[in-house]
Structure formats: structure tokens, C-alpha cells
Amino acid sequence: DDSLDKNLRDEEFRVVTPTGTYTVDMVAETCDCPDCLHRGARCKHLRLTSYARGMVPIPGWVNREAIDPQLGQHLSASPRIATADGRTEVFDR
């Protein structure tokens, strides 16, 4: 829904999950999910955003078929995945 993104600043992202919608701020490295708010931990939404933006490569041991084909779809950057030889490559859907 395009109306959701009008209130986001640069480096803020909306993560939509089956259980809720969360705002991730990559500058402050925060998320408004309960895990991040109450534990102060780096939550799965922050990690997902880092993977989707290609900032952090997806670990090479991950089953490629289990990765959501929409990962990074609405971003200009491309997700990367680690390869067996220690390098990274753009994740092809």
C-alpha cells in the first residue's frame, strides 16, 4: 500500500509480516516491534532489512528455495548471498 510509505524518512523501512507491520530505522538501528522495544536486541526485522538492502549477505548455508522471492523487491539495492568460495553474489530469484 503506497499510502503506508508517505510518512517514512530516508533509511526507514516498513516490514509487513503475518503478525504485524513494523517500522525499521536503519540509522538508529531500531524497530518498533516488541522484541526490539523490550529486549533492546537486534530483532529479525532489522536483520531482514539488512539482507534485503544487500548490506549484509545472506549466509551461504541458507536453503535458497526457502528465501522469500519478494525479498528486496521494492528496493533499489539487491540482496546478496554468500558463496562457497567466501565471496558474495547477487541473489537471483
Report the alpha-carbon distance of residue 45 to residue 51 in Å, rounded. 10
Can you give the pTM of this predicted structure? 0.80
Question: What is the pLDDT confidence band of residue 3, given thresholds at 50, 70 and 90?
Answer: very low
pLDDT exceeds cutoff 80 at 4: no
Exposure pattern of 20-50 as b/e (b: 16+ CB <10 Å)?
A: eebbbbbeeebbebeebeeeeeebebbebbb
| Burial (0-12, 13-18, 19+ Cβ within 10 Å), 77 | exposed
What are 18-40's pLDDT values in tens digits? 889 999 999 889 999 998 888 87
State the average pLDDT over residues 70-79: 84
